[in-house]
Structure 1
Amino acid sequence: MAATNMSILTTTQSAIAADLDAFEEASWLTSSYLIAMSSIAPLSGRLCQLFSPRLCMFVSTVIVCLGCIITSISPSLGVFLLGRAVTGAGAAGIMIVATIIAVQLAGTKRRGLYIGLINSSLTVGVSLGAVIAGALEPKFGWKILFGIQAPISIAAGFCILFGIPKKYLTSNSEFAGFSLRQKLTSIDYFGAVSLTSTILLFLLGLSGRHIMPIPIFLSFLLFPLFIVNETRIAKYPIIPITILRSRGTLLTCLATVGFMMSRWCILFYTPVYALAVRAWAPAVAGSILIPNNLGFGLGGILAGAIHIRRAGSFYVPSLTSMALFPLTLLVLALTSVSTTSVVAYVITVFFNGLMTGSALNYTLVHMLHLTPGEVHPIALSLLATFRGFAGSFGSAIGGGLFMRILGKELENGFAKAGLKHREDLIRRLMGSPALVSGLEGTERKIAVSAYVTGIRVLFLAAVGLSAAMVLVQAGTGWKGAAEESKAEENEVEEEVGGGESLIAGS
């Protein structure tokens, strides 16, 4: 359910933009959801340690229900964006808590498999969101698509509430035996507000067609305050200092941002390619995500079921799967034209998803190897936060690049063809790729060519970014927290022993 909201806009954006007159603000339709999800995600890990995961899951489904209701009755763009933001806040808790539960309850031998299953369910949701929305929107309208999710999400919430054992708590005993009042007073409220505000302002400044410097500047002012609070003031910080000092965790998160930004380019713009370049109907255009997400789910499940059956380092598999990903992106960049064989394009999309699923599974379990067990819930929520960043950055930065290239190509194309006064057509084409199929003659050729150039430039930029992230992931190292602690103890013992020898010699 939460994952469908990530891709539902890919095939309904044209209709929503037309109804709300939001052609120029089309990127905000997705960014509002992803920004909210990224901003709330860091809090979910700590809340799971304070309260029951089953309660956190249920509250998250209630928030999703509320967000879907607001979106479905929205009469204007502002109300629509509010509903999307509320939905994203609820989705953040659902996705993170699901991973935490799987890691803690599945056991070492099966956790890789269950992480792969969770990723598979997410990617199935992404596929279904685009396909079902594209098929049903022309018949029932986009408001029904959001409204029907409200009763389904609240029903799922009650199933989760009664399905998870009442006695199940996270493995952290730090808050065991705390009363409700003690739990509420132990929440790092300043840390929560400052971190959420920092993320929100930073992503807000990057979203849209133009970068807004003031929100970004304010986020840079707030972030040092958050760090001081977490390291020196807060008794129970949102992000413990052990996480902030972990090279492996921070580099894994940074590598995940760039890697998943490239992944989001595929999720957002392969349906756009199908709509604008191939002239497929919205329902059919959404189906181009099916092979990619099939490969994504299969890659994670195969890695978890066959290989990830032990605790320890997965350094080499992480780098190998991440290195193969940009190669598939390069092939997509070169073949995103109208003359490419559909079968060849689908096969490439499938292998791109296969490498993504395996890489995410390997990097996650390798990060768990690098961090102490007592902070795994926080590490997982931090990693999920950076994955959310990737969606926001992908829609903001990647979308901005694509829109600038597309707009320039459309303007130059119409000018060279001597077709004047096409400003309104350019504005509508930039927000609605489905309009391309309704054009004829020279106008259609120019529009198709502009979309091909925009998609190619975007995919090539993603190739360079994902290749650089392999080097970042390589910096995480292969020694786990236990191995490093033992090495430090040995160094201390050697220093003490050496000092005693010097004293004896004297």
Structure 2
Amino acid sequence: MPERDEETPLLNSKQDTSLLANTQGLAHFDFFLLLCAIYSGVILAALDATVVSTLMAHIASDLKALDNISWVATGYTVSYSAFQPLYGKLSDIFGRKKIMIFSTITFGVGCQICGLANGLPLLVAGRFISGIGAGGMLSTSTITVSDYVPLRSRGVFQGIGNISFGTGASMGGIFGSWATGFGSWRYAFTLQVPLTVAALIIMIWRVRDKKAGDNEIVTSNVHADHVVRRNSFERVDFVGSLLLVLTLLCFMFSVTMGGQLGWSSFVIVGGFVASVVWGILFYYWEVYKAVEPVLPIDILMHRTVISACLTNFFCSAMTFAVLYYSPIVMTALFDYTYTTLGRLLIANFIGVALGSVGSGIYMKRTGRYYRINMSSIMFMSIALIMFYLMPTLRDSIGQSKVYQVVSYFLNGLGYSIMLTVSLIALIAAVPPESQATSTSAQYTFRGAGSSVGISLAAAVFQHSLHSSLVKNITGKHAKEIIEEVSRSVEAIRQMPEKYQPAIIESYAHAGQNVFLLGLAISIFSFVAAAYTEEHSLERTVSTNDDSEVEV
């Protein structure tokens, strides 16, 4: 084999670069329909993740619950991040199609519950259920495509998946604004149900499972090798999944409610302690007891795997803090409607589209991904700096739509590049039999990061807002005014004019602290991404008999 240096492409550029040279015996038209079925579910899952981003202030005002409104977002992200590892293993056992159908049905049920909610608890419950389904829709989409597409071309198809995700995420704000025009924000959830049914029909019609044997060898850390039926529930790590869910739920509750109940309160300290206890039990179970761990610890010890997972965690925390709290800050500063905010988010989608396809094509042509991965975090950091400066520059360039569009564009561009590159880096680092599980692990870290980002942002925002309001608002009716504007950003313009500048300044200060939090997290993102190794991006796809088909 010829010598390679740092500038040598990982694969010969003269090799065939056709995207569809081989799709495991599936006709190109059938493969196209398969992608339509898969990515329709991705669009819906992403749409539901951001459908509330531009409606948060409106929903909080309607339910009088601005101080707890972050649970509408975290209820969704916690459940989909906690259940994603289980979907990877279940799809290995029972097949991709059954798991995708189950996920889609669960998602639709959750959306319907949200549409019927008359209070925050039921709304959060519906979001939690729909998040369970969305986790399966997102993770199985990537796993299924990986069954048919060679690694070298997978970056392009992951880019298409990111565009689908970006389309749904960007349409969420617009869809929510349009649906609310029918009379209530509840239509933003109810109208997703028929779309979910349509996606379900396509999945039932076109998704096909690859055949596998009835039995397979299962290796455990504590048991001798033994043979179980491929579709046996014995292979499902329910205990590990439950412990992971409990760990995340306790942590999310403590982070979200700490700003309201007090960080030293018994409930918050108890929540953090419980999270640590559940986490230790989860680690013990996964290492010493689980026959097939839901999240194998040995995989996470791989340098590139842990790097990719942590990069997803920190970057998702940055991005979701921006997506959920920049609309609230901009509503306070510029009195934007949710329709205007939805239109601004289109720039985020354009960034996602260009970053996804561009990074996929770049990796396909060069076989390299380290430098472009580092550049993605730089784009996100620049976007955070622009959002941070927006309140300071609100009387000049900060109120410019061009400035705001560029901010969202850079955020979407950087995040989509990171998603595409980190997934390909992770898959390239593990053997084929570990790809489904490692993919689910990365989705878990991505979901957990988004949950932590929203929760930490909520805690920082609420604490900063309350402190600033107490400092800036004085007088006879100060207490009533502070209580009202703390619950509803739309109440700002209903207050006496002499109080409005101080209230707006308080919202600006709280928003800037959130963006500073994002910049602090970006440092950890840089460190995690720098730890990534470059591996060979093969032009082959593994078959069931352990052979490889050249593409």
Verify same fold: TM over 0.5.
Answer: yes
Cross-structure match for 2:36: none
Report how far residue 404 of structure 1 moved: 1.2
Structure 1 equivalent of residue 380 of structure 2 = 325
Cα separation, 1, equivalents of 2:535 and 2:175: 45
> Do structure 1's residue 135 and structure 2's residue 178 form an aligned pair?
yes
Counterpart of 1:398 in structure 2 is: 457
Q: CA deviation at 1:49?
A: 0.7
Query: Does the 8 Å CA contact 1:24/1:427 hold for their aligned counterparts?
Result: no
The corresponding residue for 1:492 is: none
CA distance in 1, matches of 2:460, 2:535: 39
Alignment pair present for 1:274 and 2:330: yes
Instruction: Report the counterpart of residue 28 of structure 2 in structure 1.
Output: none
Query: Which residue is 2:541 aligned to?
Result: none
1:312–1:480 contact (8 Å) kept in structure 2: yes
1:91 corresponds, among 134, 140, 144, to 134
State the distance in 2 between where 1:322 and 1:226 align. Answer: 31
**Are 2:307 and 1:307 equivalent residues in the alignment?**
no
1:49-198 correspondence to structure 2 within 5 Å: 49-167=92-210, 179=229, 183-198=232-247
- 8 Å Cα contact 1:37/1:91 also seen in 2: yes
Q: Whole-Å Cα distance in 2 between the matches of residues 479 and 7 of structure 1?
A: 34
SS at 1:140 equivalent = coil
What CA distance in whole angstroms lies between the structure 1 residues aligned with 2:401 and 2:528? 34
Give 1:225's aligned amino acid.
L
Selected match of 1:349 from 408, 411, 415: 408
- More displaced stretch, 371-380 vs 467-476: 467-476
Offset of 1:88 from its aligned partner? 0.8
Cα separation, partners in 2 of 1:342 and 1:173, compared to 1, 3 Å: farther
Equivalent runs, 1:456-467 vs 2, <5 Å: 456-467=512-523
- Deviation at residue 173 of structure 1 after TM alignment: 6.7
- Counterparts in 2 of 1:344 and 1:70: CA distance versus 1, 3 Å: closer
Structure 2 counterpart of 1:225: 281
- Give the total of aligned pairs: 475
1:426 aligns with 2:426: no
Q: Which residue of 1 aligns with 2:434?
A: 375
Alignment partner, residue 311 of structure 2: 255
Equivalent pair of 1:126/1:293 in contact (CA under 8 Å): yes
CA contact (8 A) 2:106 2:133 kept: yes
Alpha carbons 2:159, 2:420 under 8 Å: kept: yes
Indicate the residue corresponding to 2:256 in structure 1. 207
Shift of 1:238: 1.3
Instruction: Give TM-score, length-normalised by structure 1.
Output: 0.87
Deviation at 1:55, TM superposition (A): 1.0
Distance 2:345 2:496 in 1: 27
Structure 1 residues 388 and 169: CA distance shift in structure 2, 3 A:
farther
Q: Is the 8 A contact 1:325 1:356 kept in 2?
A: yes
With over 3 angstroms needed to count, the CA separation of the structure-2 counterparts of 1:77 and 1:329, relative to structure 1, is closer
Contact kept? 2:379, 2:413, Cα under 8 Å: no
Deviation (angstroms), 1:395: 1.3
What is the distance in 1 between the residues matched to 2:199 and 2:366? 32
Equivalent residues of 2:326, 2:387 under 8 A apart: no
Aligned CA distance change for structure 1 residues 280 and 481 (closer, same or farther; 3 Å): closer
* Cross-structure match for 1:485: none
Quick one: distance in 1 between partners of 2:72 and 2:133? 17
CA shift for structure 1 position 437: 3.8
Deviation at 1:295, TM superposition (A): 0.4
Q: Which residue of 2 aligns with 1:443?
A: 499
Task: For 1:360-371, list aligned pairs within 5 A.
Answer: 360-371=419-430
Q: Confirm or deny: 8 A CA contact 1:27 1:399 kept in the other structure.
A: yes
User: Would the aligned equivalents of 2:105 and 2:200 in 1 still touch at CA under 8 Å?
Assistant: yes
Question: Is the contact between residue 13 and residue 432 of structure 1 (CA under 8 Å) also seen in structure 2?
Answer: no
In structure 1, distance between residues paired with 2:327 and 2:79: 24
Q: 1:289 corresponds to which residue?
A: 345
Shift of 1:392: 0.9
| Deviation, structure 1 residue 269 | 2.1
Taking every aligned residue pair, what percent have the same amino acid on both sides? 25
Distance 1:315 1:359 in 2: 10
Q: Structure 1 residue 409: deviation in Å?
A: 1.6
User: d(CA) in 1 for partners of 2:63 and 2:382?
Assistant: 39
What is the CA–CA distance in structure 2 between the aligned matches of 1:262 and 1:477, rounded to whole Å? 23
Q: Which amino acid aligns with 1:117?
A: I
Q: Deviations over 1:171-204 (max 9, x none)?
A: x9768x9647x52122222222222222222222
Deviation string, structure 1 residues 370-394 (Cα, Å, up to 9, x no partner):
2222211111111111111122111
Equivalent residue for 1:17, pick from 60, 71, 75 = 60
Deviations 1:267-316 (A, max 9, x none): 11222233111111221122221102210221011111x21217965222
Q: 1:475 to 1:458 in 2, by over 3 A?
A: same
Q: CA deviation at 1:138?
A: 4.4
Post-superposition Cα deviations, 1:6-35, rounded to whole Å, max 9, x if no partner, equal 222223233433443323321212121111
Question: Is the Cα contact below 8 Å between 1:135 and 1:282 reproduced in 2?
Answer: no
C-alpha deviation, 1:94, in angstroms:
0.5
Q: Quick one: distance in 2 between partners of 1:118 and 1:420?
A: 55
1:329 aligned partner, one-letter code:
L
